Amino acid sequence: MMMGPPGQPMRSPPALQKDRLVGSTIALVDDDRNILTSVSMTLEAEGFTVRCYADGAEALKAIQQQPVDLAILDIKMPRMDGLELLSHLRKQSKMPVIFLTSKDDEVDEVLGLRMGADDYIKKPFSQRLLIERIRALLRRGDMARAGEGESEPVIQRGDLLLDPARHQCTWKGESVDLTVTEFLILKALALRPGHVKSRDQLMDSAYGEHIYVDDRTIDSHIKRLRKKFKSADNEFSQIETLYGVGYRYRDR
């Protein structure tokens, strides 16, 4: 036990005492042993529990047996790459997923977001930035699970129904399965139909004011939202693009 003044135990910093994210379990999947070692050490120093896997097939089997709170996946791996692993994970879980990508993986990272990844970070990356992204995603998931949105009213815009407390979305009575990021972007648009939201405003709504993601990340989430709603109703056209400006929800 750490000691403070003589004979008295030192208290944990207030931020740690209040941080419900400490102890969250993260799956780190990468075939680069150096990344596994350095990133896991950094995350464990922040209070996370980290399970490391060198390939996707091994990770899938382990995660199915012992679920985790968040996964960090490298895209390019032998046996089973990150995209294939994500497709398997999304069949059974909405847990947040962050992709690690190289400079040449632009097509794959956009495809990954459309498949349900929540974020991506390019290699080489700042480990401090990775920690901030992890905390932002876990915090949103924690709020949804803990029901911190119980006081939020249900949002109804024509055929759209959003229930923040239950993280439920329906269109014409049919359930539309959204990730936390997609839900928050759609809620930001639907709260003020007809009003244009810039990409920066949608970033703030989905990621928080101190987390930066580039425009393509927001665009990819919008494309995935449209695809999901069109699967429920091919005539869906409520999310409009105003080129050079942003997006708006059309309530008519």
> pLDDT tens per residue, the chain (252 residues)?
334 434 433 333 333 333 556 679 999 999 999 999 999 999 999 999 999 999 999 999 999 999 999 999 998 888 899 999 999 998 888 889 998 887 666 666 677 777 788 888 888 888 888 898 898 888 776 655 555 545 678 999 999 999 987 778 999 999 898 877 888 899 999 999 999 999 889 888 877 665 666 667 788 889 989 999 999 999 999 999 999 899 999 976
Identify the CATH number of the domain defined by range 155-249: 1.10.10.10
| Stretch(es) of the chain classified as CATH 3.40.50.2300 | 23-146
Peptide bond into 5 cis (omega under 30): no
Which CATH code fits 23-146?
Answer: 3.40.50.2300
pTM over 0.95: no
Residue ranges, comma separated, of all CATH 1.10.10.10 domains in the chain are: 155-249
Antiparallel, parallel or unpaired: β 174-175 and 168-171: antiparallel
Sheet arrangement for strand 25-29: 49-53, 25-29, 70-74, 97-101, 119-122
